[in-house]
Amino acid sequence: MSIVYLVGSGPGDPGLFTVKGAELLMTADVVVYDWLAPKELLTWCREDAELIYVGKKGGDHTLPQDQINALLVQKAREGHEVIVRLKGGDPYMFGRGAEEVEELVAAGIAFEVVPGVTSAIAATAYAGIPLTHRDYASSVSFITGHEGEGKEETAHRWEALAKGTSTLVFFMGVKNLPTITQNLMDHGMDPDMPAALVHWGTTCRQRSFVSTLAKITDEAKNLGYKPPSLLVVGKVCLLKPKLDWFEQRPLLGKGVVVTRAREQASELLGTLQNLGACCYEFPTISIEPMDDYGPLEDAILRLQDYDWLVFTSVNGVEFFFKVLHEIGLDARALCGLEVAAIGPATAERLTGYGILPDFVPEKYVAEHVVQGLVELEIKGKKVLIPRAEKAREVLPEELSKAGAQVDVLPVYRTSLAASDPEEVRQALAEERIDYVTFTSSSTVDNFFKLVPAEEIKKHLGHLRLACIGPITAKTLQGYGFTPHIQPEEYTMPALVQAILEDAAQPK
The per-residue DSSP string of 220-286 comes to HHHHT--SSEEEEESGGGGGHHHH--GGG-TTTT-EEEE-S-HHHHHHHHHHHHHTT-EEEE---EE
From the list 87, 185, 436, the residue with the least C-alpha distance to 98 is 87
Residue 104: the pLDDT is: 96
Burial environment of residue 119 by CB neighbours within 10 A (0 to 12, 13 to 18, 19 or more)? buried
- Measured between its terminal Cα atoms, the distance across the chain in Å is 59
- pLDDT, one tens digit per residue, over 283-333 is 999 999 999 999 999 999 999 999 999 999 999 999 999 999 999 999 999
Domain at 3-117, CATH from 3.40.1010.10, 3.30.300.20, 3.40.1020.10, 3.40.50.620: 3.40.1010.10
Query: In this structure, are residues 16 and 202 in contact, taking their beta carbons and an 8 Å threshold?
Result: yes
* Cα separation values, 507 from 281, 442, 499, Å: 26, 30, 14
Residue 63: the pLDDT is: 84
Residue 46: the pLDDT is: 96
- pLDDT, one tens digit per residue, over 150-168 is 555 677 899 999 998 899 9
Does 289-414 match 255-284+418-504 at the fold level? yes
Residue 404: the pLDDT is: 94
Residues in the chain: 507
- pLDDT, one tens digit per residue, over 488-502 is 998 899 999 999 999
The question of whether 172 is a catalytic residue gets the answer yes
Out of 13, 29, 34, 90, which one is annotated catalytic? Answer: 34
Tell how far CA 218 is from the center of its chain: 34
The answer to whether residue 366 scores a pLDDT higher than 80 is no
User: Residue 362, Cβ neighbours under 10 Å: how many?
Assistant: 8
DSSP state of 148: P
From the list 363, 364, 374, the residue with the least C-alpha distance to 398 is 374
- pLDDT, one tens digit per residue, over 213-245 is 999 999 999 999 999 999 999 999 999 999 999
- Domain range list for the chain: 3-117, 121-248, 255-284+418-504, 289-414
Tell how far CA 168 is from the center of its chain: 32
- pLDDT, one tens digit per residue, over 13-51 is 999 999 999 999 999 999 999 988 998 999 999 999 999
The hierarchical CATH code for the domain 255-284+418-504 is: 3.40.50.10090
445-474: average pLDDT: 95
In this prediction, what percent of the chain has a pLDDT beyond 70? 97
Residue 432: the pLDDT is: 96
The kind and range of the H/E element at 467 are strand 464-467
Out of 56, 235, 322, 363, which one is annotated catalytic? Answer: 56
* Domain 121-248 superfamily per CATH: Tetrapyrrole methylase, C-terminal domain (3.30.950.10)
CA angle 302, 305, 306 (to 5 degrees): 110
From the list 329, 407, 399, 390, the residue with the least C-alpha distance to 369 is 399
Residue 151: the pLDDT is: 55
Q: Mean pLDDT over all residues of the chain?
A: 93
In this prediction, what percent of the chain has a pLDDT beyond 90? 85
Residue 61: the pLDDT is: 59
Backbone φ and ψ of 198, nearest 5°: -125, 115
The question of whether 474 is a catalytic residue gets the answer no
- pLDDT tier, 119 (very low <50, low <70, confident <90, very high otherwise): very high
The kind and range of the H/E element at 125 are helix 119-126
Residue 153: the pLDDT is: 65
Distance CA 221, CA 364 (A): 51
Contacts of 189 (CB under 8 A, 6+ apart): 162, 163, 213, 233
The answer to whether residue 369 scores a pLDDT higher than 90 is no
The question of whether 20 is a catalytic residue gets the answer no
The answer to whether residue 204 scores a pLDDT higher than 90 is yes
The answer to whether residue 59 scores a pLDDT higher than 60 is no
Query: In this structure, are residues 212 and 191 in contact, taking their beta carbons and an 8 Å threshold?
Result: yes
Find out if CATH 3.40.50.1820 is the number for domain 289-414: no
From the list 213, 211, 236, the residue with the least C-alpha distance to 135 is 236
DSSP state of 6: E
Residue 150: the pLDDT is: 52
Query: In this structure, are residues 114 and 20 in contact, taking their beta carbons and an 8 Å threshold?
Result: yes
Sheet with 435-438, side-by-side order of all strands: 278-281, 255-258, 435-438, 464-467
Cis ω for the linkage preceding 228 (within 30 of 0): yes
Residue 95: the pLDDT is: 86
Residue 221: the pLDDT is: 97
At 122, the amino acid letter reads: A
Global pTM value: 0.87
Out of 87, 90, 151, 172, which one is annotated catalytic? Answer: 172
Distance CA 329, CA 314 (A): 20
Residue 417: the pLDDT is: 92
DSSP letters, 360-392, are --SS-SHHHHHHHHHHTT-TT-EEEEEEESS--
Tell me which of 405 and 55 has the higher pLDDT.
Answer: 405
